[in-house]
């Protein structure tokens, strides 16, 4: 990656009238802000539909886009909604995302749009879109139909004929639920159309999109349901082992993610075709792709199904460069970022070097072990992507406030004599660092406190809810960021 910088901001955090950010006007305005500020990248979080817990890293599909990101004003312009249809969509929304209310209210208005669209030539367009996207969209739409038939329950709790996708059962579902099947196709048609318009707009303004995918997919997903032979499941489609990580910086008992593990031996036999298809589809959406938990390609933490923590897991050897080569073959023109945080073994370090993918540096990890700490900017190699913090970290303002024990070394390293100078000096030294790429959180540029944190790993309740206040993307902020970007040699050429 060439020397440059960008902003990490989830689409859901953009301001809008409808309770959550969308692919509409606010997204396009953010692209213009990035261009004005001299940035190269917009890093997003996964764009997939969210399920229990609202995490974009646990989705019903690795391919579908989140219907919440469909901009309702765009549907008004299409003539399939009216302003009157939206009168209840702007009520009761506070400064944080209320996913419970969204789930109740948003699908009501999207069904209104669908029913109106059916009076047009939309079915022809949906059939064309379905043919273009093919297998994943058929699987996903059928999955959502049958999930609805079971009151939203996980496919693990469905009747066997649906759980095991028996041909006759699938035919009967389609015949009886064809209208509902096409509702889910319609949502993806609208979401993809709006996102592709946004991506084209970003490209025209010289902004590259960094996408983000979790290495694993959710158990309750169309991906596992439709491709069960590719995962470590028993004859009843139950996981035998699940994913996580051992005790680490974030948790003394590790993190038990619960995702089913891949059967890499089977995947290798067909040349990792599922993975290739996944990455090829990503290359249509993004310019750069961050792969979360990169070390799982070298070794993965396997926890027996049913365990309550991740402590009793073990490391299992992964596909290593065989999978890396397959991904690069699937998307030869897309750049990759390896999320290589956590305890790195020599084999993981070698895999990253062999892949040539840039790893990640997090500045907030830099102050607890002296000048040899690999996260201090003076120790960065150029082939890395450097952050103050990611979506899993505290905002810089709250981090400084909470970690008073680190203040003496922070002041010493940064050559400041007062704590109040630490915040902006950290941002400046990161921008001037040797890292080819620097990605900042907008919350840190705005000096937002604890309320701006996006996710606290291992917790539920207040994650993935942060929204930007209105009118914070000012010309003054863009000018400030542009000056800092130019001074550090990161302006796009």
Query: Would you please indicate which residues are annotated as catalytic (active-site) residues?
Result: 292, 339, 392
The answer to whether 349 and 405 are in contact (CB under 8 A) is no
Question: Cα separations (Å) of 183 from 64, 138, 220?
Answer: 13, 12, 20
178: number of Cβ within 10 Å = 11
**What is the Cα–Cα distance from 456 to 470, expressed in whole angstroms?**
24
**What is the Cα–Cα distance from 320 to 183, expressed in whole angstroms?**
40
Phi first, then psi: what are they for 15, rounded to 5°?
-75, 150
**What is the Cα–Cα distance from 116 to 478, expressed in whole angstroms?**
41
**What is the Cα–Cα distance from 224 to 220, expressed in whole angstroms?**
7
**What is the Cα–Cα distance from 23 to 196, expressed in whole angstroms?**
9
**What is the Cα–Cα distance from 214 to 45, expressed in whole angstroms?**
10
Question: Cα separations (Å) of 276 from 122, 173, 195, 268, 441?
Answer: 31, 30, 22, 11, 31
- Closest-CA residue to 321 (of 293, 290, 357): 357
**What is the Cα–Cα distance from 24 to 73, expressed in whole angstroms?**
8
Question: Cα separations (Å) of 189 from 63, 104, 125, 141, 156?
Answer: 12, 21, 8, 12, 28
306: number of Cβ within 10 Å = 10
Question: Cα separations (Å) of 379 from 9, 295, 376?
Answer: 27, 21, 6
**What is the Cα–Cα distance from 264 to 279, expressed in whole angstroms?**
16
**What is the Cα–Cα distance from 62 to 140, expressed in whole angstroms?**
10
- Closest-CA residue to 481 (of 448, 445, 441): 445
> What would the two tokens of residue 293 be?
């938990």
> What would the two tokens of residue 130 be?
């379905």
Matching residue, tokens 């592709």: 196
For 211, counting Cβ atoms within 10 Å of its Cβ (0-12 exposed, 13-18 middle, 19+ buried), the class is buried
The answer to whether 381 and 434 are in contact (CB under 8 A) is yes
**What is the Cα–Cα distance from 113 to 407, expressed in whole angstroms?**
55
């Amino acid at each position: 990656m060439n020397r440059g910088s960008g902003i990490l901001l989830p689409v859901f955090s953009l301001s809008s009238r409808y309770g959550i950010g969308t692919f509409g006007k606010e997204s396009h305005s953010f692209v213009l802000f990035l261009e004005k500020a001299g940035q190269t990248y917009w890093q997003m979080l996964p764009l997939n539909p969210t399920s229990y817990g609202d995490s974009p890293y646990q989705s019903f599909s690795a391919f579908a886009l989140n219907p919440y990101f469909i901009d309702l004003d765009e549907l008004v312009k299409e003539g399939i909604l009216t302003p009157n249809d939206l009168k209840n969509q702007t009520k009761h929304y506070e400064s944080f995302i209320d996913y419970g209310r969204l789930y109740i209210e948003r699908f009501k208005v999207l069904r209104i749009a669908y029913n109106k669209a059916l009076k047009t030539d939309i079915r022809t367009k949906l059939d064309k879109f379905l043919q273009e996207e093919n297998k994943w969209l058929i699987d996903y739409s059928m999955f959502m139909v049958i999930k609805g038939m079971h009151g939203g329950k996980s496919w693990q709790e469905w009747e066997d004929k649906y759980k095991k996708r028996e041909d006759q059962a699938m035919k009967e579902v389609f015949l009886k639920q064809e209208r509902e099947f096409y509702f889910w196709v319609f949502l993806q048609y609208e979401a993809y159309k709006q996102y592709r318009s946004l991506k084209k707009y970003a490209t025209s303004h010289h902004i590259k999109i960094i996408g983000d995918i979790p290495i694993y997919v959710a158990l309750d997903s169309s991906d596992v349901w439709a491709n069960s032979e590719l995962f470590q499941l028993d004859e009843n489609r139950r996981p035998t082992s699940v994913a996580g990580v051992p005790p680490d910086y974030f948790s003394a008992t590790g993190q038990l993610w619960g995702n089913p593990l891949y059967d890499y031996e089977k995947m290798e036999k067909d040349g990792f075709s599922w993975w290739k298809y996944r990455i090829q589809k990503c290359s249509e959406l993004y310019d750069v792709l961050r792969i979360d938990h990169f070390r799982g390609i070298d070794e993965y933490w396997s926890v027996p199904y049913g365990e309550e923590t991740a402590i009793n897991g073990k490391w299992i050897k992964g596909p290593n460069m065989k999978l890396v080569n397959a991904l690069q073959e699937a998307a030869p023109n897309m750049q990759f970022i390896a999320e290589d945080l956590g305890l790195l073994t020599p084999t993981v370090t070698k895999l990253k070097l062999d892949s040539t993918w840039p790893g990640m540096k997090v500045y907030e990890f830099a102050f607890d072990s002296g000048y040899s700490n690999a996260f201090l900017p003076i120790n960065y190699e150029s082939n890395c992507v450097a952050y103050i913090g990611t979506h899993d970290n505290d905002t810089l303002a709250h981090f400084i406030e909470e970690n008073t024990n680190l203040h003496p070394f922070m002041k010493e390293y940064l050559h400041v004599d007062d704590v109040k100078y630490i915040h902006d000096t950290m941002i400046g030294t990161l921008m001037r660092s040797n890292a080819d790429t620097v990605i900042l959180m907008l919350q840190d540029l705005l000096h937002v406190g604890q309320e701006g944190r996006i996710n606290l790993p291992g917790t539920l309740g207040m994650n993935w809810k942060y929204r930007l206040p209105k009118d914070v993307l000012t010309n003054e902020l863009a000018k400030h960021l542009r000056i800092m970007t130019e001074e550090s040699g990161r302006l796009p050429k």
